[in-house]
Structure 1
Amino acid sequence: MDLNELKIAGVVEESIVDGKGLRFTIFTQGCPHRCEGCHNPHTHDFSGGETVAIHSLLTKIVDNPLLRGVTFSGGEPFCQAKPLALLAKLVHARKLDVTVYTGYTLEELDSMHDEAVDELLAATDVLIDGKFILAERDLRLPFRGSRNQRMIDMQKTREAGKVILMKE
């Protein structure tokens, strides 16, 4: 697949449940985690979904002046880190923020020592990390499904050199 393309399960052009503010949410296709009780099990199969050009997604994003930002969900976005990092940079150039959901923890992502993963992390404003754990499901949590998942302020985390959680 071309680095200017993504394999996606779909998009929600206006979401208020995938991060703060009105968001354009991209659901990537393919996930190695396969969490029990996953909200998006149709995104697990790496051979499913459709291939789209990131510039066609960007066109839809910039057409909506009400958006606060873009959310990458899944599936597992870090399985397509390189094209998502490029899209995130293009989104930032339009003064929008980027939220990324991942089944990995930030510590697991850091330990991968993968250039594409590092690029996507560097372009992420809010990281919601950790696998969904059915036994820790809590519907009262903002923007996440289980108590083990963290909402990480990535700018403050980079500045402090340690994990800084978002204020709820």
Structure 2
Amino acid sequence: MASKKLPQNPQPQEWQASELSQLKIADYKPFNFVDGEGVRNSLYVSGCQFACPGCYNKIAQNFNYGQPYTQELEDQIIADLAEPYVQGLTLLGGEPFLNTQVCLALVRRLRAEFGHTKDVWSWTGYTWDELQQETPDKLTLLSELDVLVDGRFLLAQKDLTLQFRGSANQRIIDVQQSLSQGKVVLWANLIK
């Protein structure tokens, strides 16, 4: 039965972006309304080790899927973010925290050009507590985010009525508040 299958569960620091990432992206979707609050530009990185049964983007689990991340693509994303109606950038996958080389380069450039006038969301299969025990690159990426949707997709807890999440175990976390308070603080705009 599909609901009995579970995602992979890594040990702390077991999966290293430097060893796994092929610096590829599965897709880039500018000007969408589904990957977080407001109008978003969404970068789907390639590669994920969690292998959640029922994953909505299974093809992007392959680290070699898609196209190389290029300077031209980064320039396009930054140009798209400059549009005044765009609220921010969303990092998805695949697994952004196993592609920190790509994600950090883009987020650092976003912060250099826009400061905090554009927000950064990310989805991850890691839980907040797991990320606290992770490698410096993952912690650095986390520190640059505004909102994190954490936790593996669990088919047994699938709920399509949830806001920006696929299963009830996942949380929408206000990253900066959580870091400053030393505990998980849920996103203030949470409806369900």
- When normalised by structure 2's length, the TM-score is 0.80
- What residue number does 2:102 align with? 83
Counterpart CA distance in 2 for 1:152 and 1:57 is 26
1:69 counterpart SS class: strand
Q: Say which one has the larger Rg.
A: 2
Identify which of 141, 154, 157 aligns with 1:136. Answer: 157
> Gapped runs of 5+ residues in structure 2?
1-17
Aligned partner of 2:131 among 105, 109, 113: 109
- 2:13 is aligned to none
Tell me the TM-score normalized by structure 1: 0.91
Moved over 2 A (4+): 54-64
Q: CA RMSD in A?
A: 1.7
- Quote the residue 1:155 is aligned against: 176
Residues matched between the structures, number: 164
Please say if 1:72 is aligned against 2:91: yes
Q: 1:63 is paired with a residue of what secondary structure?
A: helix
Between stretches 100-109 and 77-86, larger displacement belongs to 77-86
1:137-161: CA deviations, max 9, x gaps?
1111111100000100001101111
Q: State the Cα distance separating 1:83 from its structure 2 match.
A: 2.8
Give, as a single letter, the amino acid of the residue that structure 2 aligns with 1:139.
L
> Contact (CA 8 Å) 2:148, 2:175: kept in 1 or not?
yes
Shift of 1:55: 5.5
The 1:101–1:115 alpha-carbon spacing in structure 2 relative to 1, beyond 3 Å, is same
Aligned to 1:33: 50
Q: Which residue of structure 2 lines up, in the alignment, with residue 60 of structure 1? A: 77
**Match in the other structure for 2:29:** 12
